[in-house]
Amino acid sequence: MSSQHSQININTKAKQLRALAQGKDKQIQEKLNIEIANQRTTATRTRTAAGIREDGHKLQQIQAWLYTQVEHIVTNTLHPLRAND
Protein backbone atom coordinates (compact mmCIF):
# COMPACT_ATOMS: atom_id res chain seq x y z
CA MET A 1 0.00 0.00 0.00
CA SER A 2 1.42 3.34 -0.96
CA SER A 3 2.02 6.10 1.56
CA GLN A 4 -0.42 8.37 -0.27
CA HIS A 5 -3.13 5.71 -0.21
CA SER A 6 -2.48 5.11 3.47
CA GLN A 7 -2.75 8.85 4.21
CA ILE A 8 -6.08 9.05 2.36
CA ASN A 9 -7.34 6.11 4.40
CA ILE A 10 -6.26 7.84 7.65
CA ASN A 11 -7.95 11.10 6.62
CA THR A 12 -11.13 9.20 5.77
CA LYS A 13 -11.17 7.49 9.17
CA ALA A 14 -10.56 10.80 10.94
CA LYS A 15 -13.41 12.44 9.00
CA GLN A 16 -15.75 9.56 9.82
CA LEU A 17 -14.99 9.73 13.54
CA ARG A 18 -15.26 13.53 13.57
CA ALA A 19 -18.66 13.33 11.84
CA LEU A 20 -19.80 10.72 14.36
CA ALA A 21 -18.70 12.94 17.26
CA GLN A 22 -20.33 16.04 15.78
CA GLY A 23 -23.51 14.08 15.18
CA LYS A 24 -23.85 13.64 18.94
CA ASP A 25 -24.24 17.41 19.57
CA LYS A 26 -28.02 17.58 19.10
CA GLN A 27 -28.63 14.41 21.09
CA ILE A 28 -26.46 15.68 23.95
CA GLN A 29 -28.18 19.06 24.04
CA GLU A 30 -31.62 17.43 24.06
CA LYS A 31 -30.65 15.25 27.01
CA LEU A 32 -29.04 18.05 29.01
CA ASN A 33 -31.84 20.56 28.35
CA ILE A 34 -34.89 18.36 28.60
CA GLU A 35 -38.44 19.69 28.52
CA ILE A 36 -39.50 17.60 31.50
CA ALA A 37 -37.38 19.85 33.71
CA ASN A 38 -39.71 22.75 32.87
CA GLN A 39 -42.82 20.88 33.96
CA ARG A 40 -44.37 20.73 37.40
CA THR A 41 -41.94 18.91 39.68
CA THR A 42 -42.83 15.42 40.85
CA ALA A 43 -40.61 12.68 42.25
CA THR A 44 -41.01 10.63 39.09
CA ARG A 45 -40.16 13.54 36.79
CA THR A 46 -37.15 14.41 38.93
CA ARG A 47 -35.81 10.85 38.70
CA THR A 48 -36.53 10.67 34.99
CA ALA A 49 -34.83 14.01 34.33
CA ALA A 50 -31.78 12.96 36.37
CA GLY A 51 -31.45 9.74 34.36
CA ILE A 52 -31.76 11.56 31.06
CA ARG A 53 -29.15 14.15 32.11
CA GLU A 54 -26.83 11.33 33.17
CA ASP A 55 -27.21 9.85 29.68
CA GLY A 56 -26.28 13.27 28.26
CA HIS A 57 -23.13 13.41 30.36
CA LYS A 58 -22.16 9.90 29.27
CA LEU A 59 -22.64 10.93 25.64
CA GLN A 60 -20.38 13.94 26.27
CA GLN A 61 -17.68 11.56 27.51
CA ILE A 62 -18.07 9.38 24.44
CA GLN A 63 -17.92 12.45 22.21
CA ALA A 64 -14.75 13.67 23.95
CA TRP A 65 -13.18 10.23 23.47
CA LEU A 66 -14.07 10.29 19.77
CA TYR A 67 -12.50 13.74 19.34
CA THR A 68 -9.39 12.47 21.16
CA GLN A 69 -9.15 9.53 18.76
CA VAL A 70 -9.48 11.89 15.79
CA GLU A 71 -6.63 14.00 17.16
CA HIS A 72 -4.47 10.89 17.61
CA ILE A 73 -5.24 9.75 14.06
CA VAL A 74 -4.42 13.16 12.58
CA THR A 75 -1.18 13.52 14.55
CA ASN A 76 -0.25 9.87 13.95
CA THR A 77 0.00 9.16 17.69
CA LEU A 78 -2.70 6.49 17.86
CA HIS A 79 -1.23 3.39 19.38
CA PRO A 80 -2.41 0.09 17.91
CA LEU A 81 -4.46 -2.19 20.14
CA ARG A 82 -2.78 -5.37 21.25
CA ALA A 83 -4.83 -8.49 21.90
CA ASN A 84 -2.79 -9.54 24.96
CA ASP A 85 -3.08 -6.31 26.94
Cα distance between residue 9 and residue 13, in whole Å: 6
Whether the predicted model's global pTM rises above the 0.75 cut: yes
List the chain domain ranges.
3-74
pLDDT of res. 48: 92
pLDDT of res. 37: 76
What DSSP string runs through 2-71?
A: -HHHHHHHHHHHHHHHHHHHHTHHHHHHHHHS-GGGGSPP-HHHHHHHHHHHHHHHHHHHHHHHHHHHHH
Phi, psi of 34 (to 5 degrees): -80, 150
Asked if residue 10 has pLDDT above 90, the reply is no
User: What is the tens place of the pLDDT at every residue in 16-70?
Assistant: 999 999 999 999 999 999 888 788 889 999 999 999 999 999 999 999 999 999 9
Decide which of 41 and 6 is more confident.
Answer: 41
Asked if residue 1 has pLDDT above 60, the reply is no
